Chains A and B, each alone.
Chain A
Amino acid sequence: MNAAPLLLGYAGAVGFLAPRLLLRSAWPYRAPTLAVTSWLALSASFTVAVGLAVYQLASPTEHLHANLVDLLHSCGLTTDTAAPDPTAAARLAVALPAFVVLLVFGSFLFEVLSGRRTRSRHRKVLDLVGRRSPRLDATVLEHDHPAAYCLPGHRPRVVVSAGALRLLSPGQLDAVLAHERAHIAGRHHLALAAGTAFARVFGPLPLARHGRQQTAVLLEMIADDRALHRQPREVLAAAMYGMAAGAAPAGAFAVGGPTALVRLRRILAPQRRPHAVLRVSVAVAAVTVPLVPLLLGCVHVIG
């Protein structure tokens, strides 16, 4: 028995049904770290499943005609080659799945490296133009628009504009800086790069599309939670509102979606973590899910 249909069915479930399930659940926003892990684990699982399915389809077994050639026939394609060269087929069987996995991995590497390059260029100018504030442990930019951002990774920087300093109370500023530092300390840029890389390879797939977007939102929530360790929720909420409302809408800067509202409501509503049983089961699932395709792939050996 060939495991390809099983693997493809599994990939379909992970790629189409799992994201719908995650989006409908209430727990991801209450346990954002677990949720980010889940999205990334599903993406990894999908990649492995597709890679193994391709391997099974291209494998030069006695069932070759029942696999690849039949699939091509059923897709309306005809193959003139009657008997493929076995060594070439064997090479193809290894090269194709390796290509799938390397494509995702290479895309991740590309995201990480290109991100590092743009940030390093930005940081060089920033170090000359901005003023270092040892008291805030941040770089202050002379600009009226209230803003705060961070450059994560190698030699990280937290940046606040002079406009933000004028607008925020000391407590609010502390919350904003804690939020940005949480991004740096948690190496959130790597999780974001993974989500983006997966989305670049499997663009329109619901898992890729929602995964990338949700990862970005969830990372903000994780940083919000870190800030709430230092400041009361009213203070963080007021900082968010002040920064969002304090700026006159102008063309130069990107306009955000409903993310801020979702975050603000979440900050203001007293949070209850999901039940321990749910948390543990999700964590176990997140660890196991990337291994499931390997088990499914073994079916043809056993069967």
Chain B
Amino acid sequence: MRRLGELETEIMDRLWRWQRPATVREIVDDINKHRPLAYTTVNTVAAILYNKGWLLRGKQGRAWVYAPVRTREQYSAALMEEALGASEDRPVALAHFVRQMSPEEVGALREALAAAERRDSR
């Protein structure tokens, strides 16, 4: 059996890609193109995502229609801000590869690179 997190990812992936609200039926049918999965399972996990605050939902006839609260890009931007954010005090990431720099510092970096190239070509 696949982990709950993977199914959550599959549902969110589709809703983000389609960029429109969708019913559980539509999501199940699309997943079933690749592998069999019960309607009730998807229904349950979609409800979980709704309760976690990832999805909005509304009734359309007797079926729930789901839509992401925010776009993938918005969530990505929030994650990046948290990971690279100015908070030295409680960093989420250990450190990121290289911090953003002022134009002067970038200039000094370029200078150091150019000097190394000159040294190498000699």
Contact = CB atoms under 8 A, between A and B. Distances in A.
Interface of A: 114-115, 118-119, 122, 125-130, 141-143, 145, 147-152, 159, 161, 176, 179-180, 183, 188-189, 192, 216, 219-220, 234, 237-241, 243-245, 247, 249-250, 252-261, 263-265, 268-269
Contacts of B113: 237-238, 241, 264, 268
B26 to A, nearest CB: 20
30 contacts: A119-B93, A125-B78, A126-B79, A128-B5, A128-B9, A129-B12, A141-B79, A142-B73, A147-B83, A149-B93, A150-B94, A151-B92, A151-B93, A151-B94, A159-B83, A188-B94, A220-B95, A244-B99, A244-B105, A244-B109, A249-B101, A252-B81, A253-B84, A254-B86, A255-B100, A256-B99, A256-B100, A259-B99, A260-B98, A264-B113
Contact of A161 (B9, B80, B94, B98): B80
Contacts of B87: 254
Given A142-B72, A241-B109, A245-B109, A189 B79 contact: no
Interface of B: 5, 8-9, 12, 54, 72-73, 75-88, 90-103, 105-106, 108-110, 112-113, 115-116, 120
A122 B96 CA distance: 15
Interface of A is mostly: helix
B86 A268 contact: no
Given A122-B83, A128-B8, A241-B110, A149 B100 contact: no
B105 A256 contact: yes
Nearest to B5: A127
A122 B79 contact: yes
Nearest to A129: B75
A268 B116 CA distance: 6
B99 A237 contact: no
A143 B77 contact: yes
Given A119-B93, A264-B109, 19 more contacts: A114-B90, A118-B90, A122-B92, A128-B75, A142-B72, A143-B80, A149-B94, A159-B83, A159-B93, A180-B97, A189-B94, A219-B95, A244-B98, A245-B110, A256-B101, A256-B105, A260-B99, A260-B101, A261-B112
